[in-house]
Amino acid sequence: MNQNEFLPRFILIPYFGDKEIVGVEIGTGGGGGNVAMLMRAPNIIKLYCVDPWKHVEGAHFEAARPQEWHDLTYNAAVKRLEAYKDRTVILKMGSDEAINHTPDEIDFVWVDGNHEEEQFKRDVINWLPKVRMGGIYGGHDYQIRHIREIVTEELGWHNTGEDFTWWYIKKSKKSIMKL
C-alpha cells in the first residue's frame, strides 16, 4: 500500500473522523498523490500543494532531473488537480518560501519534498510550528538514513507505517503521543 492510500485511510480519517481539515503536502510532483489523498479523504477542505518544480544543479532525487521534466510534471499536476480546484492551492515555490503562504494553524503537514539532508532538516524544524496542537506531522521515505536520523533527533518517538511513512501527533512544542 502506498503512502497516498495509507495516509488518509490509516492516519487522517481514523484520527480526524469527518472533521473538516486543512493540510499541506510538501512535494507535489505530478499531483497524483494529492488527487489520491483528496479522493480518499473528503474531509480535507483545503490542501496546499507545495513544490518548486525546478531543476537544482548537483542535487539528488527528483530535483536533479532536467527542467523540461519539471515543467511537464508541473503541467500534469495542474491538470490533475483542476477537478479539486476548490479544495487545493498550488504553491509553485520551495517549502522555505511556501511556509509564508499557508495558514498559521494547520491540521496536518506531510513532508515528501526535497530529500536533501539540509533541506529536509529545515522542513522538519520550520513546519512543525505551523501544525496546530493535536495536529499530525509526518512524511515519507523513512528508509533514507538521514531522514530517519533527523526525524528521531528532532521529534523523538514517532509512529511508522506502510510505504516508509512516519508521523506523530503534536501535543506541545515537541511532545507527541501514539495514535
Average pLDDT over residues 30-46: 93
pLDDT tens column, 21-33:
999 999 999 999 9
CA–CA separation, 19 vs 12, rounded Å?
10
| Domain 3-177 belongs in CATH node 3.40.50.2300 | no
pLDDT tens column, 133-174:
999 999 999 899 999 999 999 888 788 888 899 998 998 655
Q: Output the average pLDDT for the chain.
A: 90
Angle between helix axes 32-40 and 67-81 (nearest 10 degrees) is 20
CA–CA separation, 15 vs 148, rounded Å?
23
Query: Where is 118: in which H helix or E strand?
Result: helix 117-127
> Where in the chain are the domains?
3-177
Burial of 93 (0-12, 13-18, 19+ CB in 10 A): middle
> Whose CA is closest to 108, among 177, 26, 6?
26
Looking at residue 176, its pLDDT comes to 43
Burial of 19 (0-12, 13-18, 19+ CB in 10 A): exposed
pLDDT tens column, 126-135:
999 999 999 9
